[in-house]
A and B are shown apart, each in its own frame.
Chain A
Amino acid sequence: MTTLKRLTPALLVLACSGWLLSACSSTQVIKSNSTPAISATDVMPDNLYLDIAILPLGPGIPESEEEQDKQIIIPDVRRAESRYIAYQLKDTLELTGNWGAVRVMPAMSEAVDLQISGEILESNGETLKARITATDATGRQWVSKVFEDNASKYSYRASMEDPFQDFYNDIANALLLERQQLKKDQLTNLRQVTRLKYANGLAPDAFGGYLTEKRGRTSITQLPAQNDTMLNRVAKIKVREDLFVDTLDDYYGNFYREMKPSYNEWRLATYDESLKLKEMKAKAYKAGAIGVLSVVGGIYGASQSNTWAGQAAGVAAVGGGIMAGKVALDRYQEAEIHAQSLRELSQSLGAEITPHVLSIEGRTIELTGTADVQYQEWRRILKDIYAEETGLPVK
């Protein structure tokens, strides 16, 4: 019993060290992208392929600069990523062939069947994590969940593929799963709702009576005549809307291609630094914990021992603990170096990307403003035409 009592501090230190070793050991993820995006094999009529609008993701930038620094977030990089991720998702969805027109748009649109939005939760060279929400024109929510992918060195070796392609493929597959649960008449109804919502946005006097909204869901009450001339006019405007959206999408495409080389380099560099930072932090934590335990255990053991050997062991444990503590400090300092390296890499990318971000923001604002003015004019003309053709008072 006495022996056990003497040995307890040492055993305690050993046990805790073992636990810490097992708990804090770092394992490197070794995997490449492994989730294929599924292309549906069933052939649908062209008019049932749904059009999708993807909004640039919310950048998820913390409000306080302190938090930004702590998470090593550079606002301009995040704003650029919000558009990059949206466009990468657009490309993935297009390549599956499961959808109609897939475009990145700066704002919500009445002219599409399905709108995708989201918020970046974490994005660096190692991890991409975002909440994605998809809602259709009737107001039904298809998807609202967090998608996440971790890259590996193998991901970066596949130069033709995005290191986080699994992230995009998961989203594409989730959307396809939802779409496959809809029957053809439901898809037709969805497309009709989209068209009528768009028409109602342009000419509410003419089309206000065709849709109804209840509990956040839009449904059709009646359909206009097949040869409705007002609908034909709206269809002409829709052609221009589509061209406008295509142009905006081209802007985002240009932005995507311009930032891609630098962004890929940044991701690879930050991937290495992130791993090292994690490793250093883990080692520092381990060393620190061992150090504390050793010091505590040594002091306790020395105080409880009434032999020279026991007291010597206690002193040795304290000394070892102090050394471990010093090692921990060194590791934290190394970790800070890697953290600083990450900040510098991100700031460098931010400085390079900022002009592109400002350019895309300016262009989309300008073009959107032009379109807004034009839409106001079209609404006015259609309103006048409706009044002229029907003799009915307009709202």
Chain B
Amino acid sequence: MIRWTKGLVLGLAGLALIVLVGVVAPFVWDEAATRLTGAAREGMSAAHPLGTDALGRDVLARTLVATRLTLVLTALATLIAAVLGIGLGTAVWVSGARVREVGLRLIDVMVSYPAVILALVVAAILGAGGPAAVVAIGVAWSPAFARLTANLAASVAGRDHVATARLLGVPPSRILTRHLLPNIAEPLLVLISVCFAGTLTALSGLSFIGLGVQPPAYDWGSLLDTGLEALYTNPGEALGPAIAITLTGVLAGFVGDGLAESADPRRAGPLRRTGKAVSRAAAPAPEVPQDALLVAEDLRVSRPDGVELVAGVSFTVRRGEIVGIVGESGSGKSLTAMAVARLLPDQVRAEAAVLRLDDLDLLGPAPDRRLALEIGVVYQDPAASFNPGLRMGGQITEVLRRHRGTGRAEARRRAVEALESVGVTRPEARLRQYPHELSGGLRQRAMIASAVLPGPRLLVADEPTTALDVTVQAEVLALVKEINERDGTAVLFISHDIGVIATLCHRVLVMYAGRVVEELTVADLREGRARHPYTRALLAATPRLTGPAGEPPATIPGRPPAPAERPSGCAFAARCAEALPHCAAEPAPPVPSPGGWAACHALATKVSEGAS
């Protein structure tokens, strides 16, 4: 599927126009281009818009007439490059493993040499002249095609359906025509347009230095060459072909960019606005406890199109407390955590009535130093969250060094201590290593060490166990608990795993579709006193070793609504077994309990019935 971007249309239209000139010009202007007038090397005038050359011929006419030869030679060179390169690439790919290895190396080497040098070799063998230049440029560009073909073929061949075809004994030639060529057509098309621009400049370049088209024939390159000699008397003589070459190159570039863009799935169009007003949900304004460290009130995170991903969340974290936020992916739990840490992606915006860490207002321009020292962050993917190009030591000690002004040796000593305390073996050696030299578990420990090294008051842990295997998970959880107990560090712990939350946290927030639907103590959670239907469904969906044998964990039917399609009422209503008719339409009232609250119509009804 080709998307018709502005650039692509402009490029194709412009090239079509130039091709038209190439077809028509020799018929119309040939006479003007070859007629010798007495006026040699005249400047630009009305009669000769680009002046005349040394023999008094009209430069504009010559530039226009040269279009055909230039285009034909460029197209031929591109054709040679494509046919030769694709042939070479497929030959390498179809042949045996050993030949393939050598062939790929060879193609790599050829690609890494300037095409001009290769073209010079061919031009030297065949002698100067138009056809020789075409062959030279064609040959010189072929390695690029060969490499692309071989690389694409390798990637396509690795896909499942091709592997299956091979296992089924489909002959390579058939795999080539049925599976490979159609799959690599689009990138090849991009390369062809890039190559067209490249061969145009290279061919014109060869003509320009006198190795290409020889007189009396002329193309843009040779016109530019003669124009260079006349630069002092008539700049128009060089300007004409210069503009022609550049313009055609730019247009071919537009086509290449346009094709590449439409082939790139990452750029599949902007987010669409499906404007639907989300009514401001009635989250209970909690009474802020005396020992609150982190206070968030009516925190909202929204996309540029106004759709709210987090739609009014309020909570507190007390000193020394571990608060867990649990929810499915897309529930807004990570965005909530990142909003607290002020590390949201550029595309989204956060606002809140109150967002503060003790006396530090997180909504205003908070000083970097306090943010860095008081909030430690542990990220989901330890493999991706360390900079691959820097040694561990530099990254772990960075905050201490910059914001505490700790000396290098002292920072390293403390980093070693911190690593030791999280159970990293050989800590001195680790500091000198690069992230890719450590295992996933080690990296996550190192990240925790790095986060707690400056002595933060709040540790934000965004799914820190998700990317780890189960035994390492347990160790990391124990570690977080230990840090909390030893240093009194408050923790905001994000997880999609309600089991993990239940082992670690003191208090739990359950998030669904951008809102908190229930807040409860971990004792209530563990002992089955969860009251919101969603929380109970989550618990039922958790596999347990202690449950009855042979019974699969329950699943929750359906999926959470997309952010733009959330109803004004309870977003879980569509999946809820206990849903009442008005659930989706009206915001659910928070129903308080001794340790928290749950926002649910069904629950409210039940409670009021029980009371009456």
**Mutual binders A and B:** no
